[in-house]
Amino acid sequence: MSEILTIGEPIVTFASKEPDVSLRDALEFHKILGGAELNVAIGAQRLGHSVDYISQVGEEPLGDYVIKTIKEHHVGTRYITRDADYWTAFQLKDRVTQGNPTTQNYRRGSAAAHLTPAVVDQIDLTDVRAAHMSGIFPAISATAEAAFRTLLKRLEAANILTTFDPNLRPTLWPSRGKMVTTLNELAGHAEIVLPGVEEGEILMGSTDPEKIADFYLRGARTKVVIVKVGPAGAYVKQQSGESYTVTGFKVAQVADTVGAGDGFAMGVLTALLEHKSLRSAVMRGNAVGALQVQTYGDNDGYPTPAGLQAFYQQEGVVED
Amino acid sequence: MSEILTIGEPIVTFASKEPDVSLRDALEFHKILGGAELNVAIGAQRLGHSVDYISQVGEEPLGDYVIKTIKEHHVGTRYITRDADYWTAFQLKDRVTQGNPTTQNYRRGSAAAHLTPAVVDQIDLTDVRAAHMSGIFPAISATAEAAFRTLLKRLEAANILTTFDPNLRPTLWPSRGKMVTTLNELAGHAEIVLPGVEEGEILMGSTDPEKIADFYLRGARTKVVIVKVGPAGAYVKQQSGESYTVTGFKVAQVADTVGAGDGFAMGVLTALLEHKSLRSAVMRGNAVGALQVQTYGDNDGYPTPAGLQAFYQQEGVVED
Structure confidence by residue, pLDDT tens digits, B80-138? 999 999 999 999 999 988 877 899 999 999 999 999 999 999 999 999 999 999 999 99
Shortest Cα distance, chain B CAs vs residue A25, angstroms: 7
A200 contacts A206 by C-beta, under 8 angstroms: yes
Task: Give contacts of B62 with chain A, Cβ < 8 Å.
Answer: 92, 104
Lowest mean pLDDT across A22-26, A258-262, B174-178, B211-215: A258-262
| B252, pLDDT greater than 90 | no
Residues 6+ apart with CB under 8 A from B114: B56, B83, B85, B86, B141, B143
Q: State the pLDDT at residue A230.
A: 87
| B297, pLDDT greater than 80 | no
Give the residue, A65 or B259, on which the prediction is more confident: A65
- Could you give the strand order of the β-sheet that contains A224-228, starting from the edge strand earlier in sequence? A80-83, A51-58, A4-7, A130-134, A161-165, A192-193, A224-228, A233-238, A243-247
Fold exhibited by the domain A1-129: UDP-N-acetylmuramoyl-L-alanine:D-glutamate ligase (3.40.1190)
Q: State the pLDDT at residue A42.
A: 97
Domain B1-131 matching CATH 3.40.50.880: the answer reads no
Q: B61, A30: Cβ pair inside 8 Å?
A: no
Q: What is the mean pLDDT of residues B4-29?
A: 96
The ipTM assigned to this model is 0.83
Residues 6+ apart with CB under 8 A from A249: A286, A287, A290, A311, A315
Q: State the pLDDT at residue A258.
A: 79
Residue A14 at interface with chain B, using a CB cutoff of 8 Å: yes
Q: B24, A87: Cβ pair inside 8 Å?
A: no
Q: A68, B24: Cβ pair inside 8 Å?
A: yes
Interface subset of A 22-41, CB within 8 angstroms of B: 22-31
3-state SS assignment for residue A287: helix
Q: Which of B165, B256, B262, B298 is catalytic?
A: B262
Q: State the pLDDT at residue A254.
A: 83
Q: State the pLDDT at residue B253.
A: 84
Q: State the pLDDT at residue B246.
A: 97
A72 contacts A39 by C-beta, under 8 angstroms: no
Residues 6+ apart with CB under 8 A from A98: none
Shortest Cα distance, chain A CAs vs residue B64, angstroms: 6
Interface subset of A 73-112, CB within 8 angstroms of B: 87, 92, 104, 106, 109
Is A262 annotated in the active site?
yes
Please give the mean pLDDT across all residues of chain A.
Answer: 95
Q: State the pLDDT at residue B302.
A: 95
Highest mean pLDDT pick, B224-228, B230-234, B290-294: B224-228
Where do the structural domains in chain A lie, given as residue ranges? 1-129
Q: State the pLDDT at residue A255.
A: 79
Q: pLDDT tens across A91-118, in order?
A: 999 998 887 789 999 999 999 999 999 9
Q: pLDDT tens across A159-188, in order?
A: 999 999 999 999 999 999 999 999 999 999
